[in-house]
Structure 1
Amino acid sequence: MARDGAVSVEELLARREPGRSLEAPFYTSREVFDLDMKLIFHRHWIFVAVEAEIPEAGDYVTVEIGTTSVIVVRDDDMNVAAFHNVCRHRGARMLTEPSGVVGKIVCPYHQWTYELDGSLIHAEHMGAGFDRTCHSLKRVNVRSLAGLLYICLADEPPADFDALAEAMTPYLAPHRLAETKVAASIDLIEEGNWKLTMENNRECYHCATNHPELTVSLFEYGFGFAPDDADTDRAAAMEAYERICAEFETRWTREGVPFAEIDRLHGCATGFRTQRLAIDRAGESQTMDTRSACKRLLGSLSEPRLGGLSFWTQPNAWHHLMADHAVTFSAIPLSPDRTLVRTRWLVHRDAVEGVDYDVDNLTEVWRNTNEQDAALVAIGQKGVSSPAYVPGPYSPYTEGLVEKFCAWYVERLSSALSSTSAETAPRAL
Structure 2
Amino acid sequence: MLHRVETPLSSLLRRRLPGYSLEAPFYTSQEIFDADMEAIFERHWIFVGVEPDVPEPGDTMTIDIGRNSVLIVRDDDNAVKAFHNVCRHRGARLVLEPKATVGNIVCRYHAWTYNTDGQLIHADHMGESFDPGCHGLKPVHLRSLEGLLFICLADEPPADFEDMAATMAPYLAPHDLRNCKVAYESDLIERGNWKLTMENNRECYHCAGNHPELTVPLFAYGFGFSPEQLDEQDREQAARYSCLVDDSSLEWEKEGIPSREIDHLDDRATGFRTQRLPLDGAGEAHTMDTKAACRKLLGKFTHARHGALSFWTQPNSWHHFMSDHVVTFAAIPLGPDRTLLRTKWLVHKDAVEGVDYDLENLTGVWTATNQQDGDLVAYCQQGATSPAYQIGPYSPYTEFLVEKFCNWYIGRMAAETGLVQP
TM-score range, shorter chain: over 0.9
Residue 372 of structure 1 pairs with residue 372 of structure 2: yes
**In the superposition, relative to structure 1, how do residues 293 and 87 fare at CA in structure 2: closer, same or farther (>3 Å)?**
same
> Is residue 2:119 matched to residue 1:99?
no
How much has 1:185 moved relative to structure 2?
0.3
Within 2, Cα distance between the matches of 1:8 and 1:250? 50
Question: Are 2:334 and 1:354 equivalent residues in the alignment?
Answer: no
Whether the 8 Å contact between 1:205 and 1:220 is mirrored in structure 2 is no
Q: For residues 7-406 of structure 1, what are the structure 2 equivalents within 5 Å? A: 8-231=8-231, 234-406=234-406
Contact 1:294 1:362 in 2 (8 A): yes
- Secondary structure at the aligned position of 2:209 is classed as helix
Q: Aligned partners of 2:338 and 2:314: how far apart in 1?
A: 19
Q: 1:400 to 1:199 in 2, by over 3 A?
A: same
Q: How high is the TM-score relative to the length of structure 2?
A: 0.96
- CA distance in 2 between counterparts of 1:317 and 1:265 reads 12
d(CA) in 1 for partners of 2:100 and 2:351?
A: 22
Shift of 1:238: 2.0
Counterpart secondary structure, 1:97: coil
In structure 1, give the amino acid aligned to 2:355.
V
User: CA–CA distance in 1 between the matches of 2:355 and 2:240?
Assistant: 35
- Aligned to 1:293, the other structure's residue is in SS state coil
Give, in whole Å, the separation in 2 of the partners of 1:223 and 1:274: 15
Evaluate the alpha carbon distance shift between residue 147 and residue 381 of structure 1 in structure 2; reply closer, same or farther with a 3 A threshold.
same
Q: CA deviation at 1:248?
A: 1.9
Q: What residue identity is the alignment partner of 2:368? A: N
One-letter identity of the residue aligned with 1:358: D
What amino acid is the match of 1:153? L
Deviation at 1:242, TM superposition (A): 2.6
Q: Residue 69 of structure 1 aligns to which amino acid in structure 2?
A: S
Q: Sort the Cα spacing of 1:2 and 1:253 in 2 relative to 1 into closer, same or farther, 3 A.
A: closer
Aligned residues: 419
- For 2:144 and 2:158, the matched residues in 1 are separated by 15
The answer (yes or no) to whether the contact 1:251–1:306 under 8 Å persists in 2 is no
Displacement, 1:237?
3.7
Residue 158 of structure 1 deviates from its aligned partner by 0.5
CA shift, 1:2, in A, is 12
How many angstroms apart in 2 are the aligned matches of 1:152 and 1:179? 25
Counterpart secondary structure, 1:332:
strand
Identity of aligned residues (%): 62
Deviations 1:225-249 (A, max 9, x none): 1111124564354244234324422
Classify the secondary structure of the residue corresponding to 1:195: helix
Separation in 2 of the partners of 1:74 and 1:375? 37
Q: Distance in 1 between matches of 2:347 and 2:335?
A: 32
After superposition, the C-alpha distances for 1:398-424 in whole angstroms (9 at most, x for unaligned) are 11100000000000000011179xxxx
Aligned amino acid, residue 263 of structure 1: D
SS at match of 1:213: coil
Write the deviation string for residues 320-348 of structure 1: whole angstroms up to 9, x where unpaired: 00000000000000000000000000000
| Distance in structure 2 (CA, Å) of the matches to 1:333 and 1:60 | 22
In 2, Cα distance between equivalents of 1:153 and 1:407: 23
| Structure 2 unaligned residues grouped into runs of 5+ | none
Structure 2: distance between partners of 1:375 and 1:168: 32
Q: More deviation in 189-198 or 243-252? A: 243-252
User: Where does residue 423 of structure 1 map in the other structure?
Assistant: none
* Distance in 1 of aligned mates of 2:391 and 2:233: 33
2:407 maps to 1:412: no
User: Residues 407, 419 of structure 1: CA spacing in aligned structure 2 closer, same or farther, 3 A cutoff?
Assistant: closer
Q: How far did residue 267 of structure 1 move?
A: 1.8
CA drift at 1:300: 1.1
2-structure distance, mates of 1:394, 1:320: 25
Equivalent-residue separation in structure 2 for 1:134 and 1:220 (angstroms): 59
Instruction: State the 1:255 CA deviation.
Output: 1.7
Query: Contact 2:10 / 2:419 at 8 angstroms: preserved in 1?
Result: no
1 CA distance for matches of 2:334 and 2:176?
32
2:236 and 2:190 map into 1 onto residues whose CA distance is 36
Per-residue deviation, residues 268-292 of structure 1 (Å, max 9, x unmatched)? 1100000001100100001000000
> Within 2, Cα distance between the matches of 1:67 and 1:411?
24
Amino acid at match of 1:241: Y
> Residue deviations 1:247-272, cap 9 Å, x none?
42243133221111000001211000
CA deviation after TM superposition for structure 1 residue 157, in Å = 0.4
Report SS of the residue matched to 1:328. strand
Deviations 1:302-329 (A, max 9, x none): 1210000000000000000000000000
Asked if the contact 1:265/1:273 (under 8 Å) is kept, the reply is yes
Query: In the alignment, is the contact (CA less than 8 A) between 1:204 and 1:398 conserved in 2?
Result: yes
Amino acid at match of 2:190: E
Alpha carbons of 1:256 and 1:379: their partners in 2 closer, same or farther (altered >3 Å)? same
Separation in 2 of the partners of 1:268 and 1:305?
33
Amino acid at match of 1:85: N
Whether the aligned pair in 1 keeps the contact of 2:333 and 2:340 (CA below 8 Å) is yes
Contact 2:249/2:276 (8 A) holds in 1: no
Q: Contact between 1:207 and 1:220, CA under 8 Å: does it hold in 2?
A: no
1:93-140 CA-to-partner distances (Å, cap 9, x unmatched) read 010000010010000000000000000000001111110000000000
